[in-house]
Amino acid sequence: MNTRRFSIMALLGLGSLVAAGCVPLVNAPSGGGAVTTSTYKIGPFNLAALGQPGSESETSKTNVPRPAGAFGVKTMDFDLVDGNGTPIPRHMAHLHHVLLIDSAHTDVLCAGRAERFSGAGAERTPLRLPDPYAYLVGANDRWDSLWHVMNMSDMPMTVYIQYKVGYQTGATAANTRNVVPYFADVTGCGGSVFNVPGNGGMGSVYTKSRTWNAPTDGIMVYAGGHLHGGGIDLTLRDGFSGAQCVMTAHYDMPMGMMDGMHPPMSIDPCPAHNLVIKGKPYTLTARYDNSQPYIDVMGIALAYIWPTS
């Protein structure tokens, strides 16, 4: 079953159950009401020209800007912009990755690590949580961030990481189903990067997977993915029911012309409403072109689960 296709129908109220794993929305609370959108920035990053010392910024920061008070996050969108908030063309500056972290919560798949709840890379995968679901943030929660940005031009430039947050100030545990982000990485809980050997010849594929057991019962309502240049797709598969969502990468040039410096322009997200069963296996698989080497690539998905137990 293609979970993404099913889920779009379900969210529009057009579909019925068509495969194992998909469940209807029942006994839903009202949700958090009106959505407010606010825009925030991290930076400035004064980057030297490509290839010069200082052409990249790869670091972290505590206490980055966020909406005040308690609220429920519904949407997030990331971009690289100049001082006026104008998006910078992707061929001029590269958003390798950015992650937002809620220091008040612990990662459910990697013990001892703060909760990575949203992020994006060059593909700019958005976050979209349908009613009555939201990511609830406490009034005193601190947001931190880590990132990697690169100047791809032959001139110095100043860039900012911009993130737009759509949130409900009326969202509470009483009227909203609070989702938990599962930061799934094919490398496990380490450094996130791996190499593709590139020794398979034209049309060959290299795969890397990680399997874990669900820590709780629940329902997955959305997933978004992150790949580097050469990435074909990410598949998040329920090993019990066989349900899966495939997040396919899209490029502005044919894969045969790739040189590792051209990341995906977009990756299909997975709106969903799929059953998660405690103790059952779930696998994330990243597929890469293996006709040439790719160094320090990633295969990451952020899935959002409403725990029911």
Domain count, the chain: 2
Query: Given the structure tokens 């209807």, which residue do they identify?
Result: 24
> pLDDT-based confidence at 14, cuts 50/70/90?
very low
pLDDT of residue 230: 95
State mean pLDDT over 266-284. Answer: 96
Contact 48, 152 (CB under 8 A): no
35/19 same-domain check: no
> pLDDT-based confidence at 10, cuts 50/70/90?
very low
The rounded distance, in Å, linking the Cα atoms of 185 and 208 is 10
pLDDT of residue 252: 87
Comparing 99 with 257, the larger pLDDT belongs to: 99
Structure tokens at 137: 């943030």
CATH assignment at residue 281: 2.60.120
Domain boundary among 118, 141, 173: 173
> pLDDT-based confidence at 17, cuts 50/70/90?
very low
The dihedrals phi and psi of 256, each to the nearest 5 degrees, come to: -65, -15
State mean pLDDT over 92-106. Answer: 97
36/167 same-domain check: yes
199/76 same-domain check: no
Domain boundary among 173, 201, 218: 173
249/223 same-domain check: yes
Whose CA is closest to 252, among 263, 261, 242? 263
Q: What is the three-class DSSP state of 78?
A: strand
The rounded distance, in Å, linking the Cα atoms of 211 and 209 is 7
pLDDT of residue 12: 30
Q: Is the sign of the CA dihedral 238, 244, 245, 248 positive or negative?
A: positive
Residues 6+ apart with CB under 8 A from 52: none
58/165 same-domain check: yes
Q: What is the three-class DSSP state of 10?
A: helix
Domain boundary among 139, 173, 207: 173
Residue 4 host element (H or E)? helix 3-11
162/212 same-domain check: no
Average pLDDT score over the chain: 91
> pLDDT-based confidence at 257, cuts 50/70/90?
low
User: For residue 125, what are the domain limits?
Assistant: 31-173
The rounded distance, in Å, linking the Cα atoms of 121 and 97 is 4
Q: Is the sign of the CA dihedral 98, 289, 286, 20 positive or negative?
A: positive
- The share of the chain scoring above pLDDT 90, in percent, equals 87
Residue 232 host element (H or E)? strand 231-238
Burial degree of 71 (CB within 10 A; 0-12, 13-18, 19+): buried
Burial degree of 294 (CB within 10 A; 0-12, 13-18, 19+): buried
User: What single DSSP character describes residue 111?
Assistant: T
Is 50 exceeded by the pLDDT of residue 16?
no
Q: How many Cβ atoms are within 10 Å of 89's Cβ, its own excluded?
A: 9
The dihedrals phi and psi of 255, each to the nearest 5 degrees, come to: -55, -35
State mean pLDDT over 192-219. Answer: 96
Give residue-wise pLDDT tens across range 122-178. 999 999 999 999 999 999 999 999 999 999 999 999 999 999 999 999 999 999 999
193/161 same-domain check: no
50/157 same-domain check: yes
270/139 same-domain check: no
234/106 same-domain check: no
17: left (phi over 0), alpha (psi -120 to 50) or beta: beta
75/186 same-domain check: no
150/201 same-domain check: no
Give residue-wise pLDDT tens across range 32-79. 999 999 999 999 999 999 999 999 999 999 999 999 999 999 999 999
Residues 6+ apart with CB under 8 A from 68: none
Structure tokens at 194: 């791996």
> pLDDT-based confidence at 256, cuts 50/70/90?
low
Structure tokens at 53: 């010392």
